[in-house]
Structure 1
Amino acid sequence: MAGLDSATRFDDERLERLATLVTRADGDRESVTVEAPFTGDPVGSVPMCTADDTDLAIRHARTAQHEWADRPLADRVAVVERFAELVWDEREDLLDLLQLEGGKARRTGLEELLDVASACEYYAGADRALAPDRREGALGPLTPTRVNYHPRGVVGIISPWNYPLTLSVSDAIPALIAGNSVVLKPDEHTPFVALRAVELLREAGLPSDVCQVVTGGAEAGESLVAGSDYVGFTGGVETGRAVAEQAGRNLVPCSLELGGKNPMLVLDDADVGTAVRGAVAGCFSNAGQLCVAPERVYVHESLYDEFVERLVVATERLTLGTDASLDVDVGSLASEEQLDSVRAHVEDAREKGATIQTGGQHRPDVAPYAFEPTVLTDVTPDMDLFREETFGPVVAVYPVGSDREAIERANDTEFGLNACVFTEDHDRGRDVAERVEAGTVSVNDPYISTLGAADAPMGGRKHSGVGSRHGPEGIRKYTERQTVAVSRIGPIAPPSWLPGEWYASALSAVVKLRRLL
């Protein structure tokens, strides 16, 4: 398989064994064929789960959740720590699967494994986020008050195809540590890496029913949203709206990470070489199929010509390939559908007058869905890719005359997921970053600085989503808050012998005292 030996490492028997981990009710059902983007060949199949399958998975998960939540937190953490060790021990297997069914460069797959390791390490210290909080009571020390964090129950996670390991398992880890059970629905294009991860979780000591997997299309997803106590979704805006609408009808809380049209701002004092390295690393990672990847670059006009020239040179040096080598820079797009979408955006821009500085071509000689890293200039508002998310190895570069113009153009979008600012002045970079309407903003780095900050929340603004992952927020969202207060003076109510006027005066005195204190 063009230098990738995972075709032999994951033969039909191994893939069929992984498919048996999918929860299925009785009866026949259709199957979903998984395709290898590097060749276009089928590599295996998984069940097209029905509503009955999903309901069964939720019932099993709900039954198992109570016993799992009753375990000491240290026991749950120990399972996750063993899982992290297994992920690293089995990294070649996981990398093979990520390439086999996702078509990504192996280097990008390694980033996924590191993200899982980071999530496990961070949430292993979950006692900080899950421990009861002391809060100020109604009458101070007379009414000591604390907030407890109880598991919600069954968490449904619907994950996408572009980062099938990190966007499934890394979201499941805090839910499990918090005492929930999980029903995971990986994208039908990339189910096997999630199934392999669940296999490793069970090998690490997770009871089998605590993490269930269903595969397939919309029917399984709708049933999962309907039956879960919390829903985490990562994917497109329109599907996210449908998930939010259904969750809202059922009064089920949810978090959504949706699309982005992420800007990169290169200020007039930026080091051009650093900015070009950042653009190449950010725009073309995972062939641009990354929710936080920059797609719009606003460069101060004094640096614009040099920046474009050097960006073109750097882009043309990238290696496009399908090897299992860590030296390959850019892999394949994940599917024919994704190729068609990217190609349509580039052709529309070309026909309407955009300049293709480099790239812009489908490369079937490399892989059926391979597309060259592409740099565009002279992009105008009438072109589809001006506002719409391309989600491919395509970036448009624009000149701007000031910081203010760069910020205004960066914010002129319905999205607000990620942004980055390049400047030699870090204080200036922070100031500009704070004025950009995005959930995360990195200075002098495209996205790793924020995405890799496990202790800080990562989420979108505007149409880019609701809620966040990472940080204390990333585990507390999987909990129900409960406030418990103890009155050391009994019922806070006027005694029968006290005149109402005196009681009102006493309350007034308490309010005044609290203000003074």
Structure 2
Amino acid sequence: MTKPIEIRNPRTGKLDYVIIPPPPKLLSQQCHRMRRGQIAWEEIGIQIRIEALQQWKQAILAERQNITDALVNDTGRLSVSILEIDTFLNSIDRWCNLAPQLLQTTAKNTSIPFIALRQTAVPYTLVGVISPWNFPLLLSTIDTIPALLAGCAVIVKPSEITPRFVAPLMTATNTVPLLRDVLNFVEGAGQTGAALIEDVDLICFTGSVETGRFVGEAAARNFIPSFLELGGKDPAIVLESADLDLATSAILWGSVVNTGQSCLSIERIYVAEAIFEEFYHQLVTKAHRLQLAYPTVESGEIGPIISENQAAIINEHLQDAISKGAVIHSGGKIEELGGGWWCRPTVITEVNHSMKIMTEETFGPIMPIMPFSTIEEAINLANDSIYGLSAAIFADPPELALEIGMQIDVGAISINDAGLTFMMQEGEKNAFKFSGLGGSRMGAASLKRFLRKKAFLIKTNTNKDPWWFHDEE
């Protein structure tokens, strides 16, 4: 018998929700049922699958208020929850438009005149998705949607920190008969996730490097692919030629949206010495304008820290920086309000790479700023990290930023903006270093991750092949 898990409300600190993980045997049975369902799901073809996902979208729209309320209770924030739902709904349409072309069978001639090639692909039968707590709906479905359209069945294990959205989402899902047997969300913690890896054919994981390593090792033991989207410590580089008003506004948003609880948050900022003072003064002024979403979710832009453990990490990083000489210009501490943990947008100077706040993932609304004297120094500082997820570069002309970006060891770079991979998912990218492993989650390549390529080599004449053994006369 699995034990119930009590769930903390990030705004009140109270344990006000309970989930009951499925016993391993039941989880295994669910996976076997979904494998059977996948056969028909693949056979109905892409057009019927698109119709099913469009029905799902309509069902979600009908259930939208309940899903929104659940996300607000999960995360303590409203505006980002609305944006999260909109992005999710838009992604259904985007993938439905892209999928038919991506799934076409192609035929072509080969280097051998009498051998034709027909290239196709078949879906993995059952895809497992293990998703994190910072964007509960979006990150549990970002892999799910293309996998379903590819013809896979998908079972999702969201974070046990933010599970409330699952119930209204499954209410919507269960109104679409074709999806009932090929899409399921299961509740549970790490033990459930570990059990899930044993029953699927491919695993997508989003989370920490530490847990991602365990997921990758477990997948390797089972000879199944793993796609790992892990941590980040994204740098921003601001050159003297940059538009400072634009740069400070973009970096502020890229650093503190969703209270900085995003792997693509800007977590370290390198600014040319000549504009350093003006830059951080502008950033501080703009940071002070943002308010906490307290006492109500409409009170401000900055929501609570969702995970209590993360609040402790943010506090540890701040105290480490202060003890080593960092100077706080705004925010700078963890506050307890109404039982929840909060952190105001925090601008810090006098920082260096001996501090955790410049080298470890903070996952909070923290903006540490260092000056640099040469472009080469800025590039070296940006690359001085175990992470390589994304970055931002501000310069005029943009070609200069692009030239610098070619030397930054990350998978996606926003030019004269920040956090663009959150808003636009067309660009294919890989995670560098410890930020992940596997094919691109963005762009058309994302759907193709869920397909195994299959080649038909077709002899087109009745002649004997020249490489066969010669028959004796």
TM (norm. structure 1) is: 0.87
Counterpart of 1:189 (choices 132, 138, 161) is 161
* Kept in 1: contact 2:297–2:303 (CA 8 A): no
Alignment deviations for residues 136-192 of structure 1 (CA, whole Å, 9 cap, x no partner): 52414x322122121110000000001110111222111111111111101111112
Q: Look up the match of 1:49.
A: 22
- The residue type paired with residue 462 of structure 1 is K
Provide the identity percentage: 30
**What is the match of residue 223 of structure 2?**
251
Question: Which secondary structure does the structure 1 equivalent of 2:79 belong to?
Answer: helix
State the one-letter code of the partner of 1:401.
S
Match of 1:466 in 2: 437
- Contact (CA 8 Å) 2:250, 2:417: kept in 1 or not? yes
Find the partner of 2:112 among 139, 149, 161.
139
In the TM superposition, 1:169-208 aligns within 5 A as: 169-208=141-180
Equivalent residue for 2:37?
Answer: 64
What is the Cα-based RMSD across aligned positions, in Å?
1.9
Q: 1:73: which partner in 2?
A: 46
User: Following the alignment from structure 1 to structure 2, what is the Cα–Cα distance between the partners of residues 373 and 119?
Assistant: 30
1:289 aligns with 2:266: no
In 1: Cα distance, 2:469 partner to 2:22 partner: 64
Alpha-carbon offset, residue 237 of structure 1: 0.1
1:308 maps to which residue?
280
Query: Is the 8 Å Cα contact of residues 34 and 153 (structure 2) preserved in structure 1?
Result: yes
Q: Runs in 1 of length 4+ with deviation above 6 angstroms?
A: none
Q: Would the alpha carbon gap of residues 30 and 286 (structure 1) be closer, same or farther in structure 2, given more than 3 Å must change? A: same
Note the 1:27-38 alignment, pairs <5 A. Answer: 28-38=1-11
> Residues 181 and 495 of structure 1: is their aligned pair in 2 closer, same or farther, counting only changes over 3 Å?
closer
Aligned to 1:353: 325
Aligned partners of 1:294 and 1:419 also within 8 Å: yes
Structure 1 residues 264-283: aligned runs within 5 Å: 264-283=236-255
- Equivalent residues of 1:168, 1:194 under 8 A apart: no
Contact 2:12–2:338 at 8 Å: present in 1 too?
no
User: Structure 1 497/161 Cα, relative in aligned 2: closer, same or farther at 3 Å?
Assistant: closer
- Give the paired residue count: 469
Query: 1:234–1:258: 8 Å Cα contact kept in structure 2?
Result: yes
Take 1:39 and 1:272, find their aligned partners in 2: how far apart are those partners?
38
Distance 1:35 1:496, change over 3 A: closer
Shift of the 495–67 alpha-carbon distance from structure 1 to 2, 3 Å rule, reads: closer
Query: What is the CA–CA distance in structure 1 between the aligned matches of 2:387 and 2:469, rounded to whole Å?
Result: 59
Matched-pair contact (CA < 8 Å) for 2:124–2:201:
yes
Pairing of 1:470-481 with structure 2 (within 5 A):
470-481=442-453
Moved more, 307-316 or 488-497: 488-497
What are the equivalent positions in structure 2 for 1:150-161 lying under 5 Å apart? Answer: 150-161=122-133
Distance, in Å, in 1 between the alignment partners of 2:101 and 2:295 is 43
Q: Does the 8 Å CA contact 1:115/1:170 hold for their aligned counterparts?
A: no
Residue matched to 2:381: 409
CA–CA separation in structure 1 for the residues paired with 2:332 and 2:468? 81
**Greater Cα shift, 251-260 or 216-225:** 216-225
Instruction: For residue 49 of structure 1, give the secondary structure of its aligned residue in structure 2.
Output: coil
1:165 is aligned to 137
Identify the match of residue 221 of structure 1 among 182, 193, 209.
193
Question: CA 1:300–1:63 in 2, change beyond 3 Å: closer, same or farther?
Answer: same
Q: Which amino acid aligns with 2:87?
A: D
Q: Which amino acid aligns with 1:69?
A: E
Structure 2 CA distance for partners of 1:195 and 1:159, relative to 1, 3 Å: farther
Counterpart of 2:95 in structure 1 is: 123
Measure how far apart 1:130 and its partner are: 1.1
246, 250, 261: which one aligns with 2:233: 261
The offset of 1:122, in angstroms, is 1.5
| Larger Rg, first or second structure (1 or 2) | 1
State the Cα distance separating 1:360 from its structure 2 match.
0.9
Is the CA contact (8 Å cut-off) linking 1:157 and 1:182 kept in structure 2?
yes
Q: Secondary structure at the match of 2:406?
A: helix
Over residues 459-495 of structure 1, what are the superposed CA-to-partner deviations in whole Å (9 max), with x where a residue is unaligned? 4111000122132211110111101121112563446
Q: Write the mapping of 1:475-514 to structure 2, written as runs, cut at 5 A.
A: 475-490=447-462, 492-494=465-467, 497=470
Aligned to 1:427: 399
Aligned partners of 1:433 and 1:442 also within 8 Å: no
Does residue 368 of the first structure (1) align with residue 340 of the second (2)? yes
Of 398-407 and 130-139, the range deviating more from structure 2:
130-139
**TM-score when normalising by structure 2:** 0.94
CA distance in 1 between counterparts of 2:401 and 2:338 reads 40
Matched residue, 1:504: none
3-state SS of paired residue (2:309): helix
For 1:115 and 1:353, how far apart are their aligned partners in 2? 41
Matches within 5 A, 1:439-454: 439-448=411-420, 450-454=421-425
Instruction: Supply the distance in 2 between the matched residues of 1:456 and 1:77 (Cα, whole angstroms).
Output: 23
Which ranges of structure 2 fall in alignment gaps of 5 or more residues?
none
Going from structure 1 to structure 2, the CA distance change for 1:327 and 1:476 (only over 3 Å counts) comes to farther
- How far residue 367 of structure 1 moved from its aligned partner, in angstroms, is 5.2
1:441 is displaced (CA, Å) by 0.7
Provide closer, same or farther for how the CA distance between residues 88 and 485 of structure 1 changes in structure 2, counting only shifts above 3 A: same
Cα distance between partner residues in 1 of 2:328 and 2:123? 52
Q: 2:86 matched to 1:114? A: yes
| Structure 2 counterpart of 1:456, from 414, 427, 430 | 427
Q: In structure 1, give the amino acid aligned to 2:290.
A: L
Secondary structure of the equivalent of 2:237? strand
Do the aligned residues in 2 keep the contact of 1:153 with 1:229 (CA within 8 Å)?
yes
Structure 2 counterparts to residues 337-352 of structure 1, below 5 A = 337-352=309-324
d(CA) in 2 for partners of 1:120 and 1:35? 31
Question: Tell me, what secondary structure is at the counterpart of 1:30?
Answer: coil
Amino acid at match of 1:213: F
Q: Is the 8 A contact 1:331 1:370 kept in 2?
A: yes
Distance 1:417 1:195 in 2: 32
Q: Using the TM superposition, give the Cα deviation of residue 326 of structure 1 relative to its aligned residue in structure 2, in angstroms.
A: 5.7
> Which residue number corresponds to residue 387 of structure 1?
359
Segments of 5+ residues of structure 1 without an aligned counterpart are: 1-27, 500-517
| Alignment pair present for 1:40 and 2:13 | yes
